[in-house]
Each structure stands twice: as structure tokens, then as C-alpha cells.
Amino acid sequence: MQAAKGGALSTVSVDTSAAYLDWAVKNMELNGYTEMNHFFYRNDSLQFLFDTYDRFDLIFCDPPTYSNGTGRESFDVDRDQVRLIKACMMHLDPKGTLIFSCNYRKFKLDERLSEEYNVEDITARSIGDDFARDQKIHYCFLIKHRTVVKVAAPKKKLVLRNREQESEEAYIDD
């Protein structure tokens, strides 16, 4: 709902729970977002990410600490965070942002993610005044693709000399 409120032309919500998706649909309707392109999928988030080719400017990922659904693999945010975040990043526009939020009180972001992506811990800024006493209520990170800067080697100029100077070509740095 916040993405629509912020001006998103379309939104996608994915959850394994029909009840949570119904809640999301009603919330959009109550806030007047019935005319826009809002899509709701009842699916495992990882499965959805591996089955679609969609690209997004902004992804908000708020996985459960643990989930054990019928007919699918269990999910543990500590164990599966790298796989989930990498799957999200496959769909994120190169200049986009992934907001990753987690309610697991002992959560630690895997260091490999900070080596591959730009990661900013915004936990302190994301906790409202009502929860100021309990700083471990959740964790929140902004994750972006690293900007790759390619530096080309300087080009060399071909300098031709006359026969009296030298009989071969010479190169000089630009």
C-alpha cells in the first residue's frame, strides 16, 4: 500500500497466506487504490522470484522468521537469507533499491551480501517511537547493486617517423 501511496504505477504482493492477501486487497481498496495495476499472488516468494522475469525499481521484502508450509520447503530467514536476497536482486533494476526487513530478534545479515552489494543498515531509523525501548523489534536494510566503473587503459597514438629518423613505427602514450 505504501508503494501505491508513494506514486508507484503498479505493485505486486506475494504471500503464501490467502488471509494475508485478502487483507492486502481490502487495505488497497479502503485506501482508494482500485484503479491502478495492483497484483496479488498466492505463492511462495522464492518460487515466484524464480518463475518470473519481472523487473522492479523497488522491492520490499519482509520474510517470516520461519515458515513450514505444506507441500513446500521450510524457510528459515537465518539459513535462507542469501538465497532470498540474491533472488530479489535478480529482479531489481540496476538503480533500484531492495528494502529488506526482518523480525527475527537474533538476525545477523550474512557478510557475503555486503561484499556483493551496497548495504546500509537503517534499523534505527525504521523503528517508531512506540518501540524505542526495544531496539531489537526488527532489522531493516537498504540493499543496492554495486556500481561498476570500468577504467579503460589509455590509448596509444601511432607516430610515423620519416626514414631518416627511424625505420620503424613508434607508439607513445596519450
pLDDT in tens, 15-26: 999 999 999 999
Q: Please give the residue range of the domain that contains residue 98.
A: 43-149
pLDDT at 91: 96
pLDDT at 57: 95
Residue 168, pLDDT > 70, answer no
Q: What is the CATH number of the domain that holds 143?
A: 3.40.50.150
The reply to whether 168 falls in a domain is: no
Contact 143, 98 (CB under 8 A): yes
Residue 174, pLDDT > 60, answer no
pLDDT band at 9 (very low <50, low <70, confident <90, very high): confident
The reply to whether 7 falls in a domain is: no
* 128 or 62: which leads in pLDDT: 62
Least Cα distance to 88 among 118, 60, 121 occurs for 60
Least Cα distance to 59 among 117, 107, 104 occurs for 117
The reply to whether 174 falls in a domain is: no
40 vs 154: CA distance, rounded Å? 52
Contact 37, 9 (CB under 8 A): yes
Taking the CB of residue 144, how many other CB atoms lie within 10 A of it?
17
pLDDT in tens, 57-94: 999 999 988 888 767 788 889 999 999 999 999 999 99
The reply to whether 135 falls in a domain is: yes
The reply to whether 110 falls in a domain is: yes
pLDDT at 59: 96
* Residue whose C-alpha cell is 537498504: 142
The reply to whether 145 falls in a domain is: yes
pLDDT at 127: 82
What is the edge-to-edge ordering of all strands in the sheet holding 117-121? Answer: 56-61, 92-102, 139-145, 117-121
Three-state secondary structure call for residue 154: coil
Number of domains in the chain: 1
Q: What is the pTM of this model?
A: 0.79
Three-state secondary structure call for residue 105: coil
